[in-house]
Chains A and B, each alone.
Chain A
């Protein structure tokens, strides 16, 4: 081409096209190469996370394998590793989590709906928004200290299931609020406008459309919050959870009227991560087997909860017909 230029003639059209084509092809090749490189890096990054988790999980399962039997779930803690079980721990976890669920969900969803739908948009609501997002990143031990002062001593709730449930409820409240707001924002404006157009009140719009259609997202947030709460140890120890407790809280259901009993709320308790922590710090290696088994169980429960969230979200999305 340089030769042609020096002769003063313009290059033939076809040569230029050909030249451009090679250049374009080269460019495409180059871009494809970087695509492959980026995809490999991405895959590597994904594998790094997944394989680490998988290795940890398999290791826990292999270490804890001998203890995966029904007895492990029906025995109380013991000084003998072989007969020590999780009964008081899993019952405690279930009870605490139910309080967490019953408090964090209504309050969190309510707060999010108010912030999204009702609150005036001004500096004050901006301030609240920043604070809520910040609260999601506060270390859990801080919630434990707050709960120790507020629930245990301030309100006199004691070192009880209700205190632990409320503490974890506070802990996951920001997660529930943020994810509910995200879900609500995902509802198209057209839906609200259509509802208003046929004469719906604000409450009808919110309850029949906004919240209904964002159930999937809300549920995901709730379950992610609950999965975080079930593995928390620090705030629960701070408020004074027990380690050895060889009896169950009083049953919430009684055989005589009024059939409901709320004594369990004020009962002492222990939870799964505390048992695991205790067994792990023991000198006797047989206890480390119990700890590994408990770790695997906590991971499985968390996976199940997340799986349920994904399944329910899918079901809800499928049923939404706009």
Chain B
């Protein structure tokens, strides 16, 4: 009846045929991974390398830590990337669905406080000073209010959106309670927007993952952090995170492995082992901080023992040591 429409339909069909050269393998083995967009670059690197040595197919999504856990607890994914420990309501959801998980810390991320490159007055910031800037209801609007020695310059705050795991961790570490923050800052889910904001405003200040600072060193300056009164100011760097002197803004990143999949799907087990084996090299390559070697040994042991559960009990915790964490589950 409709020649042109018919013609266009056959064109669509033809286009669909152009990639017909791809192979058809019945019942391909697929490892499904979803979760945090912060952890995504690490898992992507692992999936890319793993598929070079194995025929198993790995897919990675980045719908966020929360959405990732939703799918994970429905049993839709084998592994969930997470930039924070599993929360109580996710623990409950997994329990209800009968999904057990193995919690594996795989790297560190150093939340980095940055200012504009032209800002020459701030040499370091203490947790108390950061708290005065970021606490809920804070009225600090000028650098002079942070420290009388600083110039009379408007303070412009930029930070990740409230749905982000980075926001949760920073508020927990600085304000003592996750999600407790002043609300009159410029939020963005895209860290590159925060970079733009601070690099365009001499009085700007922001916090985000170390990788974004590393890529924009020419426009931004990282601030050394004083953990508590009397402690030295520590610059964020792979070394200071590894030797645990950069506190309290170094946070562990995790993967959660479905315990049933780990036990009964050999490809999942092989992938996780590959992940932990190659983490020191690949984590550094995508600009995150690898765990100390002995921690990877402990994490590998932990995976081998297949002990399900979380070491956090549904709450986030600042400055927890990897070994303590694993020992809690044992």
Binding site for B on A (CB under 8 A): 76-79, 91, 94-95, 97-98, 101-102, 105, 109, 159, 207-208, 211-212, 215, 218-219, 222, 237, 240-254, 261, 263, 268, 278, 280-285, 288, 312, 316
Contact = CB atoms under 8 A, between A and B. Distances in A.
Nearest to A100: B12
Contacts of A253: 17, 20
A261 B24 contact: yes
A240 B44 contact: no
Contacts of B211: 283-284
Contact of A212 (B2, B22, B51, B59): B2
Contacts of A97: 12
B63 A215 contact: no
B209 interface: yes
B40 interface: yes
What band does the interface of chain B fall in when counting residues whose beta carbon is under 8 Å from A?
35 or more
B214 interface: yes
B80 to A, nearest CB: 13
Nearest to A223: B8
B61 A281 contact: no
Interface in B294-328: none
A178 B41 CA distance: 43
Contact of B21 (A102, A105, A251, A263): A251
B45 interface: yes
B15 interface: yes
A251 B21 CA distance: 7
Interface string B25-52: 1001010101001001101110110010
26 contacts: A79-B285, A94-B15, A94-B16, A94-B19, A101-B9, A102-B12, A109-B5, A212-B1, A215-B5, A219-B4, A240-B34, A240-B71, A242-B59, A244-B43, A244-B44, A244-B61, A247-B28, A249-B22, A250-B25, A278-B62, A283-B215, A283-B287, A284-B211, A284-B215, A285-B215, A312-B4
Contact of B5 (A207, A219, A252): A219
A54 to B, nearest CB: 23
Contacts of B20: 251-253
A250 B26 CA distance: 9
A281 B41 contact: no
Contacts of B71: 240
B190 A280 contact: yes
A77 B43 CA distance: 13
Most buried by B among A218, A240, A254, A288: A240
A132 B142 CA distance: 52
A246 B24 contact: no
B231 interface: no
Nearest to B46: A79
Given A219-B4, A251-B22, A283-B209, A243 B192 contact: no
Interface string B183-197: 000000011100000
Contacts of A280: 190, 192
Contacts of B13: 98
B4 A215 contact: yes
B60 interface: yes
